Structure 1
């Protein structure tokens, strides 16, 4: 990845030296377009132009121009309220980027389902969101299903909390402040103080538990996959009637072992997908 970045930086420098101010302006426009896409991804909801200007410090006329181009190309879309969100053309790019991760984890997720007969998930932390990038479904008719590619706030999910616990406290608190910790269910943790207390427990025992904080009546056990170029976590989710409190201590050690194997088997090429926490 560092090699790719160095080549890109070198080519940009040469282009700027050769072509002068116009080339530099093109590079700046490209940087700003990517920044707009990143902020739309971080928001996880349609965003108005004025809010984008506050998020990016990009002048409004420039934002108008870039969004018009991105919209014409299908990378962003405008809803009925004239707010902008990521466009459908990005789905293909995201699928291509995550394909290596899915192949890398598929066997381990399938093994978890065979052992516990509950849905197994793999998620990564990108920006302020936990994004599901792999899943193996439970064989039961009544089961958890989370669409691959779904992005959720990390404070209310097992995978999200497991990944947060791997970050420094100041980064966690900054993320919680930005996301505002909305209450998804009556069990969602909505205060930074309570979340940090839960984070401390996660660090002590080595795994996270979501007690109906994202979906009522659903329990999720998750463990972080450490040592990767980006935060990641693996989990087992199911209804409380099957994933009981008594089963949590049985599931957690297996998840930790799976997380360690995923770390050891991580392909170097997959680190080039560009996921960052």
Structure 2
């Protein structure tokens, strides 16, 4: 194992972009753990990151001491509970940034606008601006749903490899929310192919009877995010879809640019 002086040297060493190398490595390991479902072994982290085991062990020990990682009884490492507070605060902030863009969606489409993130295997809604119509759709901010029956879920998962989608569906199951909910992995993968082909996702009475939802992913978002509009099926018709989708795509692009500039600030 490295001596404490070697550890101090590594912690203070700057990376090529002016950051602290050990900090960059620690965050990279957290990202890799999240990509692996939240629990990994040291050898897996070493193989995926290319870092030597002693370096990973030292970084993980620090993350465990801070509460950002915990060690399981089986000696594997899992993301720690202290990350939850950070994630919830960041999601709220992301929702705050998105609200002006969602307000524009409501203004231009007349329907309720939402923003949602993929959190683990679930969709969580982080922002909403309601329609001004008396008949309108409400989704509570903070509500969690399974991806297979939602437009935002389809929009988000369309960018994932099929094997990852199948693995997620096997973990969550595919319960039917309505008679129109897709309940087979093959059917859902076919729907994702449609999303990629058309550039947007549709929830056609699949989450709630009488409700139609159109969704697109936010390109290059720091975390997988999508925006959507939802309204009564009688208003969100095929003809309305042709007008709404370009607005959705434009707002998603503008939101993506705003998040990128915030990221580089």
TM-score (norm. length: structure 1) = 0.67
Q: CA deviation at 1:234?
A: 0.8
The superposition leaves residues 211-234 of structure 1 with CA deviations (integer Å, 9 ceiling, x where unpaired) of: 111111100000111112221111
**Which runs of no fewer than 5 residues in structure 1 stay unpaired?**
18-22, 34-56, 60-69, 76-89, 272-277
- 3-state SS of 1:32 partner: strand
- 3-state SS of 2:179 partner: coil
Q: Tell me whether 1:179 sits opposite 2:172 in the alignment.
A: yes
The superposition leaves residues 58-104 of structure 1 with CA deviations (integer Å, 9 ceiling, x where unpaired) of: 46xxxxxxxxxx8xxxx9xxxxxxxxxxxxxx6x7555322331232
Give the alignment's Cα RMSD to 1 decimal.
Answer: 3.5
1:64 aligns to what?
Answer: none
Which structure 2 residues correspond to residues 1-277 of structure 1 after superposition, within 5 A? 6-7=22-23, 27=65, 31-32=69-70, 58=73, 96-267=89-260
Q: Distance in 2 between matches of 1:128 and 1:4?
A: 32
- Given that 1:100 and 1:270 are in contact with CA atoms closer than 8 Å, whether structure 2 keeps it comes out as no
> 1:225/1:58 Cα in 2 relative to 1: closer, same or farther (>3 Å)?
same
- Given that 1:104 and 1:267 are in contact with CA atoms closer than 8 Å, whether structure 2 keeps it comes out as no
- 3-state SS of 2:124 partner: strand
Equivalent residues, number: 217
- 3-state SS of 2:256 partner: helix
- Given that 2:205 and 2:211 are in contact with CA atoms closer than 8 Å, whether structure 1 keeps it comes out as yes
Q: Distance in 2 between matches of 1:232 and 1:215?
A: 21
The superposition leaves residues 246-269 of structure 1 with CA deviations (integer Å, 9 ceiling, x where unpaired) of: 211211111111111111111565
Q: CA deviation at 1:166?
A: 1.1
> 1:220/1:24 Cα in 2 relative to 1: closer, same or farther (>3 Å)?
closer
Once superposed, which parts of structure 1, at least 4 consecutive aligned residues long, lie more than 6 Å away? Answer: none
Higher relative contact order (CA 8 A, sep 6+): 1
Q: Distance in 2 between matches of 1:168 and 1:150?
A: 26
Q: Distance in 1 between matches of 2:21 and 2:142?
A: 26
